[in-house]
Chains A and B, each alone.
Chain A
Amino acid sequence: MKNRAITVSGTILLTIAVVALVGPWLSPHDYVSTDFDRVLLAPTIADAHLFGTDELGRDLFVRTMLGIRVTLLVALVASFVSLVIGVAYGAIAGFVGGRVDAVMMRFVDTLYALPFIFFVILLMVAFERNFLLIFVAIGAVNWLDMARIVRGQTLSLREREFVEAARLTGVRNRRIIFRHIAPNLIGIVVVYVTLTIPQAILVESFLSFLGLGIQEPQTSLGALVDAGVNLMEGASWALLFPAGLLALILMCFNFFGDGLRDFFDARQAN
């Protein structure tokens, strides 16, 4: 039954991504041009303003599509960053074990305790709103969970008999890591990546809300929602479309991750 969660949410996400990529080409508008004659129009088919316009007369459909692209890009890259850091950190801690592991995990526990978002804000403010920095900042916040999970899994894998058997025969550490431990980590890593993506999206949205995220005229879903909140009373569509899509994307990632987790759990139980 859970497989349905994977296929349905996967399909929706794919559709959204495709529309976001292709959509703007099909529209006569771009995301930058202002048009003060057509400010705050409700969605209409005429003039091809499918999502209406914002307070500067810019077409919201194209801007929303752009926003989706940016949001997804940020989320995927940031998650990738946290994946790389988290897996490397966790695998090393778990594999080496002993003192090194204890120290490394103490460090993670320390960071876990912090309202890390505060550091992110500091970073963003201090170093100006660098696009690249956003990725790094978000990745830096999210890698902790991944590191913990990977370390736990690596530790238990290390004790498994097939790893001991390989050690006994004389298989080199390198091969043990790549052939024995890594393939057995993939399942859990994949699950957690799909669950960290929503977190990354939320962090990015939060930064945009504070005005620290993507800079105008570029936009992300978070920035659009922030802008939409201000226009809420008169032009509710400016909030509804981006907020609705944002929520949909987040839900799909969550369902997808949940479904994957159930799938891998069932396989383990076998």
Chain B
Amino acid sequence: MLRYTLLRVLGAIPTLLLVIALAFLMVHAAPGGPFDDERVLPADVEANIAHAYHLDEPLPKQFVRYLSGLLQGDLGPSYRYRDYTVSELIGNSFPLSLQLGALAMALAVVVGVSAGTVAALRQDSYLDRLVMACSMTGISVPVFVFAPVLVLLFAVKLQWLPAGWSSASGGARLVLPVITLALPQVAYIARLTRASMIDVLGRDFIRTARAQGLGTLTVVRLHALKPAMLPVLSYMGPAVAAILTGSVVVEEIFGIPGLGQFFVRGALNRDYTLVLGIVVFYATLIVLLNLVVDILYGVIDPRVRYR
């Protein structure tokens, strides 16, 4: 087990490096500079600014400089928000996005897995059809349609929940954004769980368990749940990526000052260090998460860790 874990950790490092390099290249390959929007500057002033930000150095050198900065936790200054470093900006906005994303993820997994399991156990019943219909809707309607509709319904018409983002509303203000963010994932996870559970329930060893007289609940809990969760576990990486993507929309619609908003602004403003910093940050998160997923996979499936 230890060997398996160690191998996975070692494997994650080149992945991470590759990701950072890729992001770095893309950011610097894009035409246009961070200062294009402003007044046209005299050539020597421009050259000075470029020098101050090390933009006149050869690319590999800039990359190494960036990497060494990374190792010290320094993501560089923001080109746009001159008073802040990228690290500060991330540090200020990430906790909010984290709260949102983590809650959405948790909701998605709990509701999705339960719904999918119930649907699988009652295959072809009305409950099953209902769950499937709902999840089909969930993956077919974009987040930015759901969000305003939900706001219209719950905030404006019914007045149950706050429409905007103000510190006055306390915890209630999280409800709509989290639900909106979670919806497509609930739908997808429910479908995935159902398909996986049906597949596992059809396997021979489940037949053996039933032949041993174990009741349905026992069979599911003891024998079927772990293997059925494997595809869901594998999906966790892409799920987090999807939630990150969704968070951009949700933060925009509800006016939440999270990391996603900064990313879009940064991209539109050509604030490249900020954008690069956020990409690197998120990518690191996801690589780490995939690492955890891989390790958990080994915990559940013994064939993977013993030869």
Contact = CB atoms under 8 A, between A and B. Distances in A.
- Specify whether A and B are partners: yes
Interface of A: 106-107, 109-110, 112-119, 121-123, 125-127, 198, 202, 205-206, 209-210, 222, 225-226, 229, 232-233, 239, 243, 246-247, 250-251, 254-255
Interface string B253-288: 000000000011001101000010011001100110
Given A106-B11, A206-B249, A254-B140, 18 more contacts: A106-B14, A110-B15, A113-B19, A113-B237, A113-B283, A114-B282, A115-B279, A116-B241, A117-B245, A121-B267, A122-B267, A122-B275, A202-B142, A205-B142, A209-B144, A210-B252, A243-B141, A251-B137
Contact of B282 (A110, A118, A202): A118
B290 interface: yes
A34 to B, nearest CB: 25
A146 to B, nearest CB: 14
13 contacts: A106-B14, A113-B15, A113-B237, A121-B263, A126-B31, A209-B144, A210-B252, A225-B144, A226-B144, A232-B149, A247-B137, A247-B140, A250-B140
Given A113-B286, A206-B245, A233-B152, A123 B140 contact: no
Contacts of B69: none
A226 B141 CA distance: 13
A198 B137 CA distance: 12
Would you call the interface of chain A mostly helix, strand, loop, or mixed?
Answer: helix
Which interface residue of B27, B148, B244, B249 has the most chain A CB atoms within 10 A? B148
B248 to A, nearest CB: 8
B245 A115 contact: yes
A222 B142 contact: yes
A265 B245 CA distance: 32
B145 interface: yes
B141 A127 contact: no
B190 to A, nearest CB: 13
